[in-house]
Amino acid sequence: MNTTDLTAAKRAATEFLARIKTYDDAFKADPVHSHVSPRITGAIRRQSMELTRALANLRHPWRPDR
């Protein structure tokens, strides 16, 4: 495990949590209708994939596609 991959994973996790907080704030703003913008949910999905990739790089640092 190298520090570059670890830093990237930490950054991806922090950004993921920030996007989740944005979702929670949007939901709390109008809990009756519980409608959250597709932009927010799409951003969460994309960031989730980035976090998954960063964690995969931690587990498999020897992969040839890196």
* Number of domains making up the chain: 1
In a domain, 12, yes or no: yes
Decide if pLDDT at 35 tops 70. yes
pLDDT at 9: 95
Please tell me whether the overall predicted TM-score, pTM, comes out greater than 0.85 for this model: no
Tell me which of 41 and 34 has the higher pLDDT.
41
- Residue 40 banded pLDDT, cuts 50, 70, 90: very high
Nearest to 66 by CA among 5, 12, 9, 6: 5
In a domain, 64, yes or no: no
In a domain, 31, yes or no: yes
In a domain, 66, yes or no: no
Average pLDDT (5-30) is: 94
Q: Are 22 and 40 in contact (CB under 8 A)?
A: yes
